[in-house]
A and B are shown apart, each in its own frame.
Chain A
Amino acid sequence: MPKAKRALLEISGLKVEGNTGEEWVDIVKGVHLTLRRGEVMGLIGESGAGKSTIGAAAMGYARDGTRISDGSIDFDGIELTTASEGEKRALRGSRIAYVAQSAAASFNPAHRIIDQHTEAPLHYRIKKRLEAQEDAMDLYERLRLPNPREIGFRYPHQVSGGQLQRAMTAMAMACRPDLIIFDEPTTALDVTTQIEVLAAIRDIVDQFDTAAIYITHDLAVVAQMADTIKVLLRGREVEEAPTQEMLDGPKEDYTKSLWAVRSFRRPQKSRPNGSEPLVSVRNVDAAYTGGVKVLDQVSFEIYKGMTVAVVGESGSGKSTAARVITGLLPPTAGEVLFGGDPLPPNYRNRSRDQLRQVQMIYQMADTALNPKVRVNEIIGRPAQFYSGLHGVKLKHRVDELLDLIELEPSRFYDRYPPELSGGQKQRIGIARALAADPTFIICDEVTSALDQLVAEGILKLLDRLQEDLDLSYMFITHDLATVRSIADEVVVMRNGLVVEQGGKEEMFRPPHHPYTDLLLSSVPEMDSNWLTTLLEERGVDNIGDAATV
């Protein structure tokens, strides 16, 4: 058989079980997968779809608390389900490599990057140390890392996230594997950084004709990377098709619902005539200890009943602005007005009523809710603190709040947060903010940890609550799709400065500020040629520059 036609990886009837603490349950329920040499397959699905587990299984690896219970995994003639630990280990790093979601966490903090890179080639005696280092530098250069001859000698914490992610891709290439598993390699990155990494991954996979499994929950990303796409749902395959075919005409309803998810869009509201802004941030400077300035003359206004989205990359100062408004970080200059009156800079000096007016909803509902406290107490406490409710009245209020967030009071009143799904937890977070009966809520990346369908539910809920309760939102996000769906006005921040602000419609219509343009054009689109076209437009050499400016 010609080499190109032979399947490199053949998975059939794969079942993987996970231990819930009490019993073993199926998390992958009979999946088939065929991958030929040089082919890239995208695995896509929401959390719990089993895509990451399948990726690990392709290396014959089962994470702690999971086990491969059935099926066969044939890698180039080696049956991984029956192979010994030693045989499987001999494949890992040499013929099958892995690129993890968070390079910052997956590089060992105790060793230099290049020493981690050369570990596998030295271990397998493929290369001598100097040779392996030389090869690492060559790969760093191909992946367009800055200072390719020097960067490897740094420790992981001395290198930025996007660069680390590329260094990890280089590391995966160290032994020139036949197959690389990419497990959400760009999920933790900003859109502008994501592009460099996507381009780098695609180049290197092309150059060495490596086969890859690309795992992600982002359709637009997978459209750029994969030859074929396989959609998964709760451990089962929904459908598989070549990328273009899948984009043009998904067959299954579930796939269609995934495709349609970015469709929620609310018309833009305009500022109420002649009224004062509800929140007004005026010329605010802020710095953290150490004196590094993180906000520089930041000004924006939020009117009653409106949603202002504050967008920017990590480090742009958007969350710091929220901390200044809530009084957690007193500004070094400037002031915050609420309903026309200045708010005391430090929350300790604010009256209970001032505190009540401004509430927050956090990104990670997991960590923002105390896992040992029942739902009714989580919601009841602020209601009691701010409104002085007790006994039956308090219970009524909690029921009312649960109704508001569309969770059945009788079912959820006594539950603990760990018993709830991600979306339900985030709803509890919303109810807790509402319990204070505020007029203004700061939503800090509230949907970015959620799957798209769930996130859309949360956005719709927030929108309805705004109508019903006449709330104003400051919506912090790095996701422009979210901005498009929910915002009335947009504030674009970068390096602590506001670079552009205005109504949503005009913001999405050219001409843009160059930085807004960079942000907008960096959002992956559902077009398999998007990345190629974009790179041509920008000129390949500018990719690195674009993100490092």
Chain B
Amino acid sequence: MRDILGLVLKRLGLGLVTLLVISVIIFFMVELLPGDLAQAVLGQGATQETVEALRQELGLDRPAVVRYLDWLSGAVVGDFGTSLISGDSVGDAISDRFLNTLFLAAYAAVIAVPLAICLGVLVALLRNSLFDRIANVLTLTSISSPEFFLGYILIFYLAVKTGLFPAISSLSGDMTFGELLERTFLPALTLVLVVTAHMMRMTRAAIINLLASPYIEMARLKGAPPWKVIARHALPNAWAPIINVVALNLAYLITGVVLVEVVFVYPGIGQLLVDAVAKRDFPIVQACCLIFAATFILLNLAADVGAILTNPRLRHPK
């Protein structure tokens, strides 16, 4: 067990280093953008003096490295500076939005992950049957349609035609949890449709890959029924690839939801990012990018640890 803890700590350390490198890239990519930030914020009509004054106020007259270190030391304690447009703290602007995005991601994940794995096991069991083929075609269709298109189709059928769910997922503070679930159902469903196929197909492939193993033949020759062969003998050895794909898709649920948020007017971090880019509100852009990078790193770390924990050779050393 101590080996695993050491391994996790090592991975965590490596993740931090990766994050540091990414922060450098994010910061200096923004620096590299053409044009003067103060000029851009103030617009064409600004005088030389006002531009200078804003430059001074933003600290743009200082060298980039100093500003980077300043930004980094703030980011470590959660202070990402202030928004150029509203003048509010970036942390405040982001935190609510990020929580909304996490909620939507969790909502979608709670449905999609069990669904994908159960379907994956089922199609592995019924491989090459009609059910397998239909499931394959449907999930492939959903994965290859753009999410905004899926979103509009769902709105058309489930909101406009039948009126089952609201088309717009605007949130307000005094909603009950039930209302919240109902209001965000359509964007969550869109995300489920997008991510399920990938996870299901990997589950199927990982299981089928093991079916030629001698221990699977042994299980069959011990009289285990087909579902038990799959669920008890193949699945426990197939977790590592499945967990990796699940982690990738969870990361996508958090970082790739921009279009879905726009379609459903959902107040998540993706919308915020799009607005910030349009308005050249760079502190927010930088903070969002850093959060996305951290999300990817953490989820990949979790996948590695998960893969280790499901491997009996590593869990129970000789």
Contact = CB atoms under 8 A, between A and B. Distances in A.
Interface stretch (A101-109, A257-265, A514-522): A101-109
Nearest to A102: B214
A92 B218 contact: no
B222 A109 contact: no
A120 B218 contact: no
Interface string B224-252: 11001000110011000000000000000
B24 to A, nearest CB: 34
Interface string A98-125: 1010100111111100000001100110
A110 B214 contact: no
A127 interface: no
A123 B213 CA distance: 22
Given A107-B215, A108-B215, A110-B236, A155 B316 contact: yes
Interface in A153-207: 154-155, 157-158, 171
Interface in B209-225: 212-215, 217-225
Residue with the greatest number of chain B CB neighbours at <10 A, chosen from A91, A93, A102: A93
A470 to B, nearest CB: 45
Given A93-B221, A157-B313, A110 B237 contact: yes
A124 B223 contact: yes
Contacts, number: 73
A90 B223 contact: yes
Interface in B168-226: 212-215, 217-225
Contact of A111 (B222, B236, B313, B318): B236
B207 to A, nearest CB: 13
Contacts of B237: 108-110
Contact of B215 (A63, A105, A124): A105
Contacts of A108: 215, 218-219, 233, 236-237
B63 interface: no
Interface string B277-318: 000000000000000000000000000000000001100101
Contacts of A61: 220-221
Contacts of A68: none
A59 B213 contact: no
B237 to A, nearest CB: 5
A89 interface: yes
A100 B217 contact: yes
A94 B236 contact: no
A213 to B, nearest CB: 13
Contact of B214 (A93, A106, A120, A155): A106
B213 A93 contact: no
B223 A92 contact: yes
Residue with the greatest number of chain A CB neighbours at <10 A, chosen from B220, B221, B316, B318: B221
Interface in B127-163: none
A64 interface: yes
A106 B312 contact: no
B117 to A, nearest CB: 16
> Size class of A's contact patch?
20 to 34
Contact of B312 (A89, A100, A110, A171): A110
Given A108-B233, A110-B237, A158-B318, A98 B312 contact: no
Interface in A232-281: none
A123 B215 contact: no
Given A109-B312, A119-B224, A63 B217 contact: yes
Contact of A92 (B212, B220, B318): B220
Contacts of A158: 316, 318
B215 A106 contact: yes
Contacts of B222: 92-93, 97-98, 119-120, 123, 171
A107 B316 contact: no
Contact of B212 (A64, A93, A97, A102): A64
A91 B223 CA distance: 7
A292 B69 CA distance: 47
Given A100-B214, A100-B218, A105-B214, A93 B223 contact: yes
Contacts of B225: 89
Contacts of B233: 108, 110
Contacts of A63: 217
A61 B214 CA distance: 14
B312 to A, nearest CB: 5
Contacts of A91: 223
Contact of A123 (B220, B224, B236): B224
A487 to B, nearest CB: 34
B220 A105 contact: no
Contacts of A100: 214, 217-218
Contacts of B224: 93, 119, 123
| 8 closest cross-chain pairs (CB), A and B | A93-B223, A93-B222, A110-B236, A92-B223, A98-B221, A105-B214, A108-B215, A106-B218
27 contacts: A89-B223, A89-B225, A92-B220, A92-B222, A92-B223, A93-B221, A98-B218, A98-B221, A100-B217, A105-B213, A106-B214, A106-B217, A108-B233, A108-B236, A109-B237, A109-B312, A110-B237, A119-B222, A120-B222, A120-B223, A123-B228, A124-B223, A154-B316, A155-B316, A157-B313, A157-B318, A158-B316
Given A106-B217, A107-B215, A157-B316, 4 more contacts: A89-B225, A91-B223, A105-B213, A158-B318
Interface of A: 59, 61, 63-64, 89-94, 97-98, 100, 102, 105-111, 119-120, 123-124, 154-155, 157-158, 171
